């Protein structure tokens, strides 16, 4: 029953207000508050209870030394790909809970050969989770929900448990955040707070952190995310600055090139790229090559030269033999 309460507290199902029309005002108000509250995680199909986590044996026939999760939540669409949940009614001591966490570690550390022949963590052969970041591959997180029915004080037990399990959960400081490679994130809360605030409430305390957080932040690594976001922003800014430098350099080169672009001595227009290239690369052609003129002016110059040449030829006097028909005419009778 306690596990079912945890499922409802995490799922946060929304009542159908249309079916409460005839109910008392306080019932309708409570239902409306549930509708207005933040959504829970996943659907009913996202939850499985009493799930064996074998450290030896198989999924169907687990051996000794493994754990059995009270609840397994898979809601990747809500930012929780995989979450193991243990519900404690405050009858267990911290050493007993520490031994249970050790069994979780054995399961999480177990690797098996997958269908493609590669060795993978056993849990990845059944559940999906995003690929780990470089040097930061934590195990799936464990949520421990204390339901205060028994005689033990959950605050005392939680503090003792954190001390006993440091080897399993404690990360390594790195550049303003922590790396949790090979570690088991352990998060604790109470059933009372979970039922009241749901997974969106800041009622979850992760071992090693000083403040409560919403569940998604508690099982994640917000400072690493913020660090990575800053690095991406810095990289993007450097890339934009580099592109801007290239743009300015290219603009400067174009401007300098335009300053050097020849101007037609005939009409004053600037050469096209093709004309400029031709003027610099082709050999001079006497009478037909005008490297200081644009294409149109060159055509007009060539035509004018040709016309002037024909006019000049027409003005040159012909030789006497040409006028009388040649030297053979002298011998005609």
| Among the ranges given (22-31, 108-117, 191-200), the one the predictor scored with the smallest mean pLDDT | 22-31
Q: Quick one: pLDDT at residue 71?
A: 97
Q: Quick one: pLDDT at residue 20?
A: 82
| Cα Rg of the chain, angstroms | 43
Q: Quick one: pLDDT at residue 294?
A: 87
Mean pLDDT of the chain: 90
Residue 316 pLDDT greater than 80, yes or no: no
Is 199 within 8 Å of 187 (Cβ atoms)?
Answer: no
In percent, the amount of the chain with pLDDT more than 90 equals 66
Residue 332 pLDDT greater than 80, yes or no: no
CA distance 181 to 218: 16
Residue 286 pLDDT greater than 80, yes or no: no
- Helix 154-164 to helix 94-109 angle, to the nearest 10 degrees? 50
Q: Quick one: pLDDT at residue 149?
A: 94
Q: What is the mean pLDDT of residues 312-316?
A: 74
Q: Quick one: pLDDT at residue 288?
A: 58
Exposure pattern of 29-57 as b/e (b: 16+ CB <10 Å)? eebeeeeeeeebbbeeebbeeebebbbee
Q: Quick one: pLDDT at residue 31?
A: 83
Residue 257 pLDDT greater than 60, yes or no: yes
Q: Which SS3 state, helix, strand or coil, does residue 246 take?
A: helix
CA distance 185 to 192: 22
Tokens at residue 9, please?
A: 């507290």
Sequence-distant contacts of 266-272: CB under 8 A, at least 24 apart: 266/292, 266/293, 266/294, 266/297, 266/300, 266/301, 267/294, 267/296, 267/297, 269/294
- The larger pLDDT score, comparing residue 332 to residue 201, is at 201
Q: Quick one: pLDDT at residue 312?
A: 74
Residue 285 pLDDT greater than 60, yes or no: no
Q: Quick one: pLDDT at residue 222?
A: 92
Q: Which of 130, 132, 110 is nearest to 122 (CA)?
A: 110
| Confidence grade of residue 320 (pLDDT, cut at 50, 70, 90) | low
Tokens at residue 314, please?
A: 């027409």
Q: Which SS3 state, helix, strand or coil, does residue 204 take?
A: strand
Q: Quick one: pLDDT at residue 293?
A: 87
Q: Quick one: pLDDT at residue 283?
A: 54
Tokens at residue 6, please?
A: 């945890």
Bridge partners, residue 172, by sequence: 179
Sequence-distant contacts of 223-231: CB under 8 A, at least 24 apart: 223/176, 223/177, 223/178, 224/133, 224/136, 224/177, 224/178, 224/179, 226/177, 227/175, 227/176, 227/177, 228/133
Q: Quick one: pLDDT at residue 132?
A: 83
Q: What is the mean pLDDT of residues 160-184?
A: 95
Residue 275 pLDDT greater than 90, yes or no: no
| Among the ranges given (50-64, 96-110, 288-302), the one the predictor scored with the smallest mean pLDDT | 288-302
Q: Quick one: pLDDT at residue 284?
A: 55
Exposure pattern of 240-254 as b/e (b: 16+ CB <10 Å)? eeeeeeeeeeeeeee
Residue 135 pLDDT greater than 90, yes or no: no
Q: Which of 262, 317, 323, 319 is nearest to 293 (CA)?
A: 262
Q: Quick one: pLDDT at residue 277?
A: 85
Q: Quick one: pLDDT at residue 318?
A: 64
């Amino acid at each position: 029953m306690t596990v079912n309460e945890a499922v409802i507290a995490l799922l946060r199902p929304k009542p159908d207000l249309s079916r409460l029309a005839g109910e008392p005002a306080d019932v309708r108000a409570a239902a409306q508050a549930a509708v207005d509250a933040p959504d829970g995680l996943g659907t009913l199909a996202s939850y499985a209870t009493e799930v064996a986590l074998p450290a030896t044996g198989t999924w169907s026939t687990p051996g000794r030394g493994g754990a059995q999760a009270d609840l397994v939540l898979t809601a990747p669409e809500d930012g929780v790909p995989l979450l193991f949940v243990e519900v404690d009614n405050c009858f267990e001591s911290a050493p007993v809970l520490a031994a249970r966490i050790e069994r979780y570690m054995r399961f999480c550390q177990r690797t098996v050969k997958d269908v493609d022949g590669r060795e993978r963590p056993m849990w990845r052969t059944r559940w999906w989770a995003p690929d780990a970041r470089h040097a930061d591959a934590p195990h799936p997180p464990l949520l421990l929900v204390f339901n205060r029915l028994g005689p033990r004080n959950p605050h005392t037990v939680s503090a003792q448990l954190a001390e006993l399990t440091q080897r399993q959960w404690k990360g390594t400081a790195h550049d303003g955040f922590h790396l949790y490679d090979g570690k088991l994130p352990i998060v604790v809360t109470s059933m009372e707070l979970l039922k009241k605030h749901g997974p969106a409430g800041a009622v979850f305390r992760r071992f090693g952190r000083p403040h409560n957080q919403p569940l998604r932040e508690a099982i994640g690594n917000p400072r690493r995310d913020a660090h990575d976001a800053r690095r991406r922003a810095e990289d993007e800014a450097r890339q934009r600055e580099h592109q801007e430098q290239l743009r300015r350099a290219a603009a400067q080169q174009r401007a300098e090139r335009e300053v050097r672009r020849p101007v037609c001595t005939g009409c004053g227009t600037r050469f096209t790229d093709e004309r400029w290239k031709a003027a610099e690369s082709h050999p001079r052609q006497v009478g037909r090559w005008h490297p200081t003129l644009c294409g149109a002016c060159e055509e007009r110059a060539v035509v004018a030269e040709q016309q002037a040449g024909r006019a000049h030829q027409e003005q040159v006097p012909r030789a006497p033999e040409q006028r009388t028909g040649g030297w053979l005419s002298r011998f005609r009778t």
